Structure 1
Amino acid sequence: MKLSLAKKFGLLAATALMMACSDSSSSSDADAVETDAFLAKLEGSYTELFPAMLDEKYNALWDSLGKKYAGDNAEMLVSTLKTSYILEITGEEAVKYNEENETFAFDCFFENGVEKFTFKGNTISGYDQNGKEIFSHEYEYLEDKPVVEFAEAGAALKTFKSLDENSGKFTYFAFTSDNPGETFHIEFRYGSTLDGLYNYLSGDYAYWLPSGIPTENTDDYTKKAIDLFISENSK
């Protein structure tokens, strides 16, 4: 899935994966394979994407790539992109803000005190700003489920559930198909319930799509993510 939130909703053509098997043991085996295969692509640790991309040391890169891909529209494009994914409000408050301002702005920051996410095998962990572990659970694959508002475009989230019944706000994780090897970043949502998790523009999770950048080789990934971000949004 591409970085452009607006474009990905209109152009994404990913096919939802249906795990329907009558034999329960076969289904379990298939789910295990799905968990291993997808989470293996995310192996490693991540901090927030947009603070990294908006570091002032990349200003010249933003400007040069803006001119490369957007020409005379570079300044407007870059300005819009730098402000459209750092809303810092979600849910009904974000819905009201976007309606009143006729915008399409998202909050792409981590929530619940997490500053870093780590993926190892089928275990997902979160740490605060001091490196203290907030949670760490093993997860199993549930299904690929369409994003409500963009189902016709094929947008779907790959959903996982914690094996620990007491996982609280980290019980469910739902990922886009993004991964460091293909799009240099990750995008996901998480919460204690599935209610509203597949709604991008309404409900408790409205306009919230946390995005991460690898903590290893961050500079290289960030430069590539900025390039992809601007190029996709310039079309």
Structure 2
Amino acid sequence: MTTRFLSAARAVSVATVLAGALMMVTPADPIPVFDAANYVQNTLGAVRALQQIENQVRQLQNEAQSLVNQSRNLTSLPSNVTDRLRANLATTRQLITRAQGMAFDVQQTDADFARLYPQQYTAAVSGDQMVQDARARWQHMLTGLQTAMQMQSQVAQNLNSDEGVLADLVSRSQSATGALQAMQATNQLLALQAKQSIQSQQLQLTQDRAAALELAR
């Protein structure tokens, strides 16, 4: 019985020592636990943030392209043909203005016509005066024909210039970079058409004047 008691006491002593030794050992680091749900949530959040950034970048790109398009639409044509058209019209107008003979003025025309084309001559008018009037009428008719022919020659020269203007405007309209350039090219084409219409009326005016002077003579 004494032997059993000693064995039990020894066992208790060993257990006590082992317990104390275990209490003195530093506990190991905890093993991390992988949270799959949290990982998926974080990944989805990162994806959404990336999509937002891409949308913002795309929006900025669209705004930049819009500004580029606006700048193109506001770009003006590099040159203007209006001055060239006005110069052509000024040349034909000068031909009419400096035309000798019966003036292209209503009041002056009435006065000249009443003096040179009377319905009848009184007995007080001499034969020499009648001859002078006849010569003046012939001279007016001649200058009227000359003015009409000068106008025809000038219009022919202007047509050559107009062909170059037309080709230039068509080329610009086809290569227009924006709405403003296209609109300006169209307006200048309309200006060319209007100029040619005015020039045609001027030519018809001088031809009709020459014919009227011949009929009146």
Same fold at TM > 0.5:
no
| Structure with the higher strand share, 1 or 2 | 1
What TM-score do you get using the length of structure 2 for normalisation? 0.24
What TM-score do you get using the length of structure 1 for normalisation? 0.23
Larger Rg: 2
| Structure with the higher helix share, 1 or 2 | 2
